[in-house]
Amino acid sequence: MAYEVFCDICGNPYVEWSEYQGMVWCWRSLKDTRGTGGVFDGPIPVNGSKIMGMCLDRIDLKTGQWLSLKIVDGKMEYEPFGNVFPAIFDPKPLDYIT
Ligand SMILES: [Zn+2]
């Protein structure tokens, strides 16, 4: 389930992220569609979403920079946390585990 996003055509809750940006795939309608807004329709309680296991961090796909969401004085800020590309493409970081 994609963050409580339903199919906007038939209401099916069992949708998957589509290969198209901003779309979901509905297994009942067999279509790529925009879907409903899901939990992103309204204000997201940041700490509440953490409890539910949702990660609101970002990855800058151009640089590979992992941006970790922090709450500073009640405001959301993204702090650089590291680079995800070496962990994915470079086997060297695995050496740190042993
Ligand atoms: Zn549908």
For residue 3, report the distance from its CA to the centre of ligand 1, in Å.
16
Task: Please tell me whether the overall predicted TM-score, pTM, comes out greater than 0.75 for this model.
Answer: no
Kindly report, residue by residue over 48-86, the tens digit of the pLDDT.
Answer: 778 888 888 888 888 888 899 888 888 888 999 887 776
Q: CA angle 40-13-17, nearest 5°?
A: 60
pLDDT for res 32: 95
How far apart, in Å, do the first and last CA atoms of the chain sit?
A: 35
pLDDT for res 47: 76
For residue 33, report the distance from its CA to the centre of ligand 1, in Å.
8
For residue 28, report the distance from its CA to the centre of ligand 1, in Å.
5
**How remote is the C-alpha of 30 from its chain's centroid?**
23
